[in-house]
Amino acid sequence: MTIFQALPFFPASLTRDENALPVAADADAVDLGALPEWDLSDLYPAPDSPELTRDVAALEAACASFARDYEGRLASLNGARMLECIERYQQIDVLGGRIMSYAGLRYYQNTTDAGRAKFMGDLQDRITQATTRLVFFSLEFNRISDDRYAEIFADPEGPARYKPVFDRMRAMRPYQLSDELERFLHDNSVVGAAAWNRLFDETTAGLTFEVEGETLGIEATLDLLTDHDRARREAGARALAKVFGQNIKLFARIHNTLAKEKAIEDKWRKMPTPQMGRHLSNHVEPEVVEALRNAVTAAYPRLSHRYYRLKAKWLGLDKLQVWDRNAPLPSQNPRNIRWPEARATVLDAYAGFSPKLADLAQPFFDHGWIDAGVKPGKAPGAFAHPTVTTVHPYVLLNYLGKPRDVMTLAHELGHGVHQRLAATQGELLAATPLTLAETASVFGEMLTFRALLAKTTDPVQRKALIAGKVEDMINTVVRQIAFYDFECKLHAARAEGELTPEDINALWMSVQGESLGDAFEFMPGYETFWTYIPHFVHSPFYVYAYAFGDGLVNALYAAYEDGLPGFQEKYFALLSAGGSRHHKELLAPFGLDASDPAFWDKGLSMIEKLIDELEAMES
């Protein structure tokens, strides 16, 4: 087990697709109502506040005293003493998580602010240095014999409730290095992956694109890919390709370095595959992920290929270009959805499922837990960061009033509600494995979509709504599995040697045609569009969690629609469990089993049914 991470929130829920969360060039000119900003004072009043200074010093002292009291003694502790030890460790986790949450959230409000970057970097250095004293904990715990381990957790006065945490930690036993090497890796992290991550973030945030006489940032340019005007979409796509091409050597260097760094660590740990570390952290069996991947790739012809042929027909095109993939339908009535309407839409949809769900989401709007506006230097995309269990989550959006932005709000609020419910487990047990981390977010989207669909009677608008949902599901399932395959190919190829930009481009294109189908042509330059997707940099092999979550929610929603008795209570129990139970145990009350290949087909069939409905509208 590692102590809190310096930026634990970044991959929690970022852009699920490179075009999913755009930022408009004329955002300031659109009247969206008063958009909320974060109030971070629940963490700390200010960067120079005495409270923050006090907590940094307290963390350093707590790490030192913890090491003095327990290093070399874990195996000798009885149940009661072990419980005390674990709870002290948990309090350090809370303290460090609070400090770095504050620093990280301030940074992501403006990643181009050198002062904020320095503030975060300096804190990260201090906390990494302090927590090096704690590296012994997981290493020594994993050396406790199986008999002694069972005895400690069987003690009625012991730490039995924390056993799931340590069972997951002990899964790393075969891959554990010496104490000295583990300390080195911990210390080196601030100049290893974390440094390359920051370089990626700051480079991406600083890119500018020339489009028809305007100088735009990356999100404003991506927004053009959803414009009603096809010429504008093409101009945006070509501007993206030009700038990505100009910077491709840097992005290739970042990916080469991170993939090699991971390969070296995996070799020392004797990890059987590059993906194994992710599977272990997700507490999911490799064969379950493989069953998901195989089910989705087998469904490409029934899902994305079929849908995009329909879309080409709607747009009056023989072939789609990349700038048509997320284009609105010609019949779709463009309008901006003001913030008050978006808020009411999502809260009403949540309340329609359960008033409790809406009550859990309400404080995000009322107490400065959402930062919604588009600002210079702000991190692109969206995420929900749980901070620590003694405070509350924060949600970041780049809200522009488009229907997809409303769905993003529903998605991130789902994460926030999940994080609030799981917080009752305490810091060590609250963190949900990625396999279940997308459950509440995707379910929140589904509730919002179904609520909107139920009150949409106009056939044209109904078609646009269903088509938008199908595209979101394809982006979440098909596209993310294609991303996963790209990563698998990239890491395998990097093991054979340095990759040129052209090598990486070819790997990217090898999954694009397969996943998107024969309805597409690919413009020169699209081969570089892997360059700015953050998951590949921040969280290798993360992306399959989105497909896992969508398939899981589709199956859950089918059980809900079928009237499964006590569904709401079972659903809240699932979310409240956090990381305290395995996905197999949590899904059993719903009659679901993710290890069954038929499970994934059930989820994919929901997407097929929506495409069936769209096809029926054509007849």
Beta bridge partners of 455: none
Which residue did the predictor score with more confidence, 617 or 240? Answer: 240
Domain membership of residue 374 (yes or no) is: no
Q: What is the pLDDT of residues 534-586, one digit of tens each?
A: 999 998 998 998 898 888 888 899 889 889 999 999 999 999 999 998 888 99
Domain membership of residue 377 (yes or no) is: no
Q: What is the pLDDT of residues 136-165, one digit of tens each?
A: 998 899 889 999 999 999 999 999 999 999
Domain membership of residue 371 (yes or no) is: no
Same domain, 59 and 32: no
Same domain, 21 and 51: no
* Strand spans (E) along 282-421: 370-371, 383-385, 394-396
Same domain, 154 and 190: no
180 pLDDT tier (thresholds 50, 70, 90): confident
| Paired tokens of 343 | 């808020």
Q: What is the pLDDT of residues 26-60, one digit of tens each?
A: 444 578 999 999 999 999 999 999 999 999 999 99
Q: What is the CATH number of the domain that holds 164?
A: 1.20.140.70
Domain membership of residue 375 (yes or no) is: no
Same domain, 158 and 295: no
Same domain, 89 and 52: yes
Boundary (domain end) residue, out of 115, 146, 171: 171
| Helices marked H in 354-477 | 355-366, 403-422, 427-430, 434-437, 439-454, 459-476
3-state secondary structure 145-196: CHHHHHHHHHCCCCCHHHHHHHHHHHCCHHHCCCHHHHHHHHHHHHHCHHHH
Boundary (domain end) residue, out of 171, 196, 217: 171
Same domain, 104 and 192: no
Domain membership of residue 246 (yes or no) is: yes
If one counts the domains in the chain, the total is 2
Boundary (domain end) residue, out of 171, 191, 212: 171
Beta-carbon contacts of residue 446 (< 8 Å; ≥ 6 apart): 553, 554, 557
d(Cα 198, Cα 43) in Å, to the nearest integer? Answer: 23
Domain membership of residue 75 (yes or no) is: yes
Same domain, 44 and 32: no
Same domain, 99 and 231: no
Beta bridge partners of 210: 215
Domain ranges, residue 141:
37-171
Q: What is the pLDDT of residues 325-360, one digit of tens each?
A: 999 888 767 778 999 999 999 999 999 999 999 999
| Paired tokens of 235 | 């101009």
Same domain, 302 and 325: yes
Overall pTM > 0.85: no
Same domain, 435 and 551: yes
Domain membership of residue 64 (yes or no) is: yes
Whether the CA torsion 38, 41, 44, 48 is positive or negative: it is positive
Helix, strand, coil shares of the chain as percentages rounded to 5? 70, 5, 30
Same domain, 167 and 207: no
d(Cα 553, Cα 471) in Å, to the nearest integer? Answer: 16
